Amino acid sequence: MEKTAHPTYAHCPIRHIVDRFGDKWSLLVLYNLHTSGCLRFSEIHRRTADISQKMLTSTLRKLEQDGLLSRKVYPEVPPRVEYALTPRSESLMPHLTALIGWAEENFDAILEDREREKI
Protein backbone atom coordinates (compact mmCIF):
# COMPACT_ATOMS: atom_id res chain seq x y z
CA MET A 1 0.00 0.00 0.00
CA GLU A 2 1.38 3.41 -0.99
CA LYS A 3 1.81 6.03 1.71
CA THR A 4 0.56 9.52 1.02
CA ALA A 5 1.57 12.65 2.86
CA HIS A 6 -0.96 14.33 5.06
CA PRO A 7 -2.39 17.26 3.03
CA THR A 8 -1.28 19.73 5.69
CA TYR A 9 2.35 18.69 5.26
CA ALA A 10 2.33 18.78 1.47
CA HIS A 11 2.14 22.59 1.53
CA CYS A 12 4.13 23.13 4.71
CA PRO A 13 6.50 26.09 4.13
CA ILE A 14 9.20 24.77 6.46
CA ARG A 15 9.46 21.49 4.52
CA HIS A 16 10.12 23.36 1.28
CA ILE A 17 12.58 25.77 2.88
CA VAL A 18 14.51 23.05 4.71
CA ASP A 19 14.62 21.08 1.47
CA ARG A 20 16.46 23.96 -0.19
CA PHE A 21 18.73 24.86 2.72
CA GLY A 22 19.28 21.29 3.86
CA ASP A 23 21.78 20.68 1.09
CA LYS A 24 25.48 21.02 1.68
CA TRP A 25 26.11 24.26 -0.21
CA SER A 26 23.20 26.73 -0.36
CA LEU A 27 23.73 28.38 3.02
CA LEU A 28 27.49 28.57 2.48
CA VAL A 29 27.04 30.27 -0.89
CA LEU A 30 24.53 32.74 0.54
CA TYR A 31 26.78 33.50 3.51
CA ASN A 32 29.78 34.05 1.21
CA LEU A 33 27.75 36.57 -0.77
CA HIS A 34 26.62 38.20 2.47
CA THR A 35 30.16 38.64 3.78
CA SER A 36 31.78 39.54 0.46
CA GLY A 37 29.08 41.35 -1.50
CA CYS A 38 28.54 40.90 -5.21
CA LEU A 39 30.75 38.10 -6.59
CA ARG A 40 31.58 36.45 -9.88
CA PHE A 41 31.29 32.68 -10.31
CA SER A 42 35.03 32.09 -9.92
CA GLU A 43 35.12 34.17 -6.73
CA ILE A 44 32.25 32.20 -5.20
CA HIS A 45 33.99 28.99 -6.24
CA ARG A 46 37.23 30.03 -4.51
CA ARG A 47 35.41 31.04 -1.31
CA THR A 48 33.35 27.82 -1.12
CA ALA A 49 35.88 25.12 -0.33
CA ASP A 50 35.50 21.72 -1.99
CA ILE A 51 32.47 22.56 -4.16
CA SER A 52 32.71 21.38 -7.76
CA GLN A 53 31.91 23.75 -10.60
CA LYS A 54 28.94 21.58 -11.56
CA MET A 55 27.51 21.66 -8.03
CA LEU A 56 28.09 25.41 -7.73
CA THR A 57 26.28 25.98 -11.02
CA SER A 58 23.35 23.87 -9.83
CA THR A 59 23.25 25.61 -6.43
CA LEU A 60 23.33 29.08 -7.97
CA ARG A 61 20.51 28.18 -10.37
CA LYS A 62 18.32 26.86 -7.55
CA LEU A 63 18.95 29.91 -5.37
CA GLU A 64 18.18 32.21 -8.28
CA GLN A 65 15.02 30.24 -9.04
CA ASP A 66 13.86 30.77 -5.44
CA GLY A 67 14.56 34.51 -5.65
CA LEU A 68 17.42 34.27 -3.15
CA LEU A 69 20.09 35.68 -5.41
CA SER A 70 20.25 37.85 -8.47
CA ARG A 71 22.36 37.13 -11.52
CA LYS A 72 23.55 40.02 -13.65
CA VAL A 73 25.10 39.36 -17.05
CA TYR A 74 27.22 42.15 -18.51
CA PRO A 75 27.37 42.45 -22.31
CA GLU A 76 31.15 42.11 -22.51
CA VAL A 77 33.64 39.83 -24.18
CA PRO A 78 34.48 37.65 -22.40
CA PRO A 79 31.11 37.52 -20.63
CA ARG A 80 30.98 38.72 -17.04
CA VAL A 81 28.32 37.44 -14.65
CA GLU A 82 27.90 38.64 -11.07
CA TYR A 83 25.76 37.22 -8.29
CA ALA A 84 24.32 39.14 -5.35
CA LEU A 85 21.83 38.64 -2.55
CA THR A 86 18.27 39.80 -3.03
CA PRO A 87 16.15 41.55 -0.39
CA ARG A 88 14.60 38.14 0.35
CA SER A 89 17.96 36.54 1.12
CA GLU A 90 19.15 39.65 2.97
CA SER A 91 16.19 39.16 5.33
CA LEU A 92 17.54 35.67 6.06
CA MET A 93 21.02 36.86 7.07
CA PRO A 94 20.30 37.82 10.71
CA HIS A 95 18.85 34.33 11.23
CA LEU A 96 21.73 32.64 9.43
CA THR A 97 24.26 34.66 11.42
CA ALA A 98 22.51 33.60 14.65
CA LEU A 99 22.57 29.96 13.53
CA ILE A 100 26.28 30.19 12.75
CA GLY A 101 26.91 31.69 16.19
CA TRP A 102 24.93 28.91 17.83
CA ALA A 103 26.85 26.28 15.84
CA GLU A 104 30.20 27.77 16.84
CA GLU A 105 29.20 27.86 20.52
CA ASN A 106 27.93 24.28 20.56
CA PHE A 107 30.12 22.51 18.02
CA ASP A 108 32.67 21.04 20.44
CA ALA A 109 29.98 19.77 22.82
CA ILE A 110 28.07 18.18 19.95
CA LEU A 111 31.22 16.43 18.71
CA GLU A 112 31.90 15.17 22.25
CA ASP A 113 28.36 13.79 22.49
CA ARG A 114 28.74 12.06 19.14
CA GLU A 115 32.00 10.46 20.24
CA ARG A 116 30.44 9.34 23.53
CA GLU A 117 27.60 7.65 21.62
CA LYS A 118 30.09 5.64 19.53
CA ILE A 119 31.33 3.79 22.62
CB neighbours of residue 59 within 10 Å: 22
CATH number of 7-118: 1.10.10.10
Taking the C-alpha atoms of residue 29 and residue 49, their distance in angstroms, rounded to an integer, is 10
**pTM, to two decimals:** 0.81
Predicted confidence at residue 74, as pLDDT, reads 94
- 80-114: per-residue pLDDT in tens? 999 999 999 999 999 999 999 999 999 999 999 99
